[in-house]
């Protein structure tokens, strides 16, 4: 059914609220992720990585940042493939001084950092790069060099979940510079309701009407809170209610849409991994014994689960192995908050490794 020919006026709507458009003012939820990225930028950290499956809201998230963060910002919907397009991104916003024009001084890929530094002076630039999973190693390398050589830049790059793996396996230098890792998973029930309400009110409607509370609940269950699926499902329901001449969208109508049956589970992924300031050598020397031996083990073997650590260290003095694992788990969490270790979800368990900075402490000592 074409949106143009449908009359949404019976609910006071001037158009269909559930079109798949990206509009930063319709952004809801993802509070923890928003906080993490804002902290990242405020602290002028260099690289943040945002991953999420298609439709999770990566572009919306970046556009929201672009609209709401008060600093110089540059959003690109896709990383450019040619060096000259890459350079143009910056010359388009910063332009040229008369002097530069007279000398025809257009920066090359290699003089670009110098050019940007000169333009930025004390200002901070937030560089937002979308769809980074499509880019190749070379382009990621340009981005890395750029963030290394510009004093005042935070790079926030977003892509599908495979991007993280790709970076890890192909570009360790880039991987080690990622300070904040954020994953966009899905919205909770309350956020789904907010999403529906915001969209309805934006087209002139009232609250969640014609949806009932029960309907929202069912929509959440069926879509798993996955934003694009929520929109698609609501769109179907609205059109079906109009066809049937119903004033209200309730659970009963949803029951009729058996064809949409998504898994009810929420995705289990770490939402935010943050690497705070790395500890100094002295702080490191003063750590309690247990923390130290765990770090020493991790300096020899990367990416271990708490269970593997207990097994390797043959920890005694615990009532049972499960007790030991729980205790190691708590120690690791503390070490993570203090910037010693980083973690990743692998299936149900977390695996831990030293942060790059702490690794160098071990190499030096
Ligand atoms: N947090 C959110 N609040 C409100 N709407 C959202 C949110 N996240 C996503 N949406 C909506 O869901 C749809 C999909 O979001 P978006 O296009 O940002 O996803 P994406 O992760 O960039 O997907 P892709 O990988 O396919 O580019 C959009 O129409 C967007 O408006
Ligand atoms: Mg997108």
Q: Write the pLDDT tens digit of every residue in 186-223.
A: 999 999 999 999 999 999 999 999 999 999 999 999 89
Residue position matching structure tokens 């493939």: 81
Q: Whose CA is nearest to atom 18 of ligand 1?
A: 57
Dist CA 274 CA 339 (whole Å)? 8
Q: Across the strands, what pairs with 342?
A: 353
Please give the CATH topology (third level) of the domain spanning 275-364: Arc Repressor Mutant, subunit A (1.10.10)
Cβ atoms 328, 294 nearer than 8 A = yes
pLDDT digit string (tens) for the chain, length 365 residues: 566 678 889 999 999 999 998 999 999 999 999 999 999 999 889 999 999 999 999 999 999 999 988 788 899 999 999 999 999 999 998 888 888 878 778 899 999 999 999 999 888 999 999 999 988 899 999 999 999 999 889 999 999 999 999 998 888 889 988 999 999 989 999 999 999 999 999 999 999 999 999 999 999 998 989 999 999 999 999 999 999 999 999 999 998 877 665 554 445 456 666 655 667 778 888 888 899 999 999 999 888 999 999 999 887 778 888 999 999 998 998 888 777 888 877 767 788 988 877 887 777 55
Residues with Cβ within 6 A of ligand 1?
Answer: 20-22, 26-30, 52, 54-60, 195, 227-228, 231
Most informative mutation of 66, 77, 227 for ligand 1 (most atoms within 8 A of CB): 227
Class of domain 3-11+187-255: mainly alpha
CB atoms within 10 A of CB 135: 20
DSSP-based three-state secondary structure for 97: coil
Name which residue sits closest to atom 4 of ligand 1, judged by CA. 27
Probe target for ligand 1 pocket from 134, 228, 229, with the most ligand atoms within 8 Å of CB: 228
**Smallest-distance ligand from the CA of 52:** 1
Q: Whose CA is nearest to atom 25 of ligand 1?
A: 54
Q: Would you state the pLDDT for residue 277?
A: 62
Query: Which CATH number fits the domain 30-184, given the four candidates 3.40.50.300, 3.40.50.360, 1.10.620.20, 3.30.1330.10?
Result: 3.40.50.300
pLDDT of residue 334: 82
User: How many C-beta neighbours within 10 Å does residue 110 have?
Assistant: 11
Alpha carbon distance 125, 79 (integer Å): 17
Residue nearest to atom 24 of ligand 1 (CA): 54
pLDDT at position 4 is: 62
Closest CA to 273 of 60, 23, 49: 49
pTM tops 0.95: no
Q: Are 61 and 50 in contact (CB under 8 A)?
A: yes
d(CA 311, CA 234): 50
CA of 215 to the centre of ligand 2 (A): 28
Structure-token pair, residue 206 = 């009232």
Per-residue pLDDT at 365: 53
Alpha helices in the chain (DSSP H): 31-42, 58-68, 83-94, 98-102, 112-120, 137-149, 162-170, 172-175, 189-202, 213-223, 227-243, 251-255, 281-285, 289-300, 306-313, 321-337, 356-364
| Cα 257 to ligand 2 centroid, rounded to whole Å | 27
CA of 77 to the centre of ligand 2 (A): 8
- Quick one: which ligand is closest to 21's CA? 1
Residues whose Cβ atom is located within 5 A of ion ligand 2: 58-59
Ligand approaching nearest to the C-alpha of 186: 1
Smallest-distance ligand from the CA of 54: 1
Q: Could you state, in order of their start, the residue ranges of all structural domains in the chain? A: 3-11+187-255, 30-184, 275-364
- Asked if the domains at 3-11+187-255 and 30-184 fall in one CATH topology, the answer is no
């Amino acid at each position: 059914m074409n949106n143009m020919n449908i009359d949404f006026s019976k609910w006071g709507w001037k158009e269909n609220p559930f079109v798949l458009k990206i509009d930063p003012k319709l952004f809801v939820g993802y509070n923890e992720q928003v906080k993490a990225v804002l902290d990242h930028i405020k602290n002028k950290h260099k690289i943040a990585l945002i991953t999420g499956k298609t439709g999770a809201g990566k572009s919306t998230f970046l556009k929201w940042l672009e609209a709401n963060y008060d600093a110089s910002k540059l959003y690109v919907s896709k990383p450019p493939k040619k060096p000259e397009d890459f350079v143009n991104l910056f010359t388009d916003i910063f332009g040229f001084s008369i002097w530069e024009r007279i000398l025809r001084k257009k920066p090359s890929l290699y003089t670009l950092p110098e050019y940007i530094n000169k333009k930025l002076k004390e200002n901070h630039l937030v560089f937002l790069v979308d769809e980074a999973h499509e880019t190749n190693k070379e382009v990621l390398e340009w981005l890395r060099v750029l963030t290394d050589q510009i004093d005042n830049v935070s790079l926030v790059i977003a892509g599908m979940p495979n991007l993280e793996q790709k970076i890890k396996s192909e570009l360790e230098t880039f991987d080690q510079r990622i300070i904040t890792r954020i994953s966009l998973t899905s919205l909770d029930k309350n956020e789904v309701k907010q999403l529906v309400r915001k969209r309805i009110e934006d087209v002139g409607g009232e609250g969640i009407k014609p949806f009932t509370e029960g309907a929202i609940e069912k929509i959440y269950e069926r879509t798993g809170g996955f934003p694009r699926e929520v929109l698609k499902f609501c769109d179907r329901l609205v059109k079906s209610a109009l066809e049937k001449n119903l004033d209200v969208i309730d659970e009963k109508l949803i029951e009729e849409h058996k064809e949409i049956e998504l898994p009810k589970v929420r995705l289990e992924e770490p939402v935010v991994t943050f690497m705070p300031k790395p500890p100094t050598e002295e702080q490191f020397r003063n750590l309690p014994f247990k923390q130290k031996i765990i770090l020493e083990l991790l300096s020899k073997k990367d990416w271990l689960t708490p269970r593997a650590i207990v097994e390797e260290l043959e920890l005694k003095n615990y009532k049972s192995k499960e007790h030991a694992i729980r205790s190691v788990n708590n120690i690791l969490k503390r070490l993570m908050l203090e910037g010693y270790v980083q973690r990743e979800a692998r299936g149900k368990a977390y695996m831990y490794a030293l942060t790059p900075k702490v690794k160098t402490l071990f190499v030096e000592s």
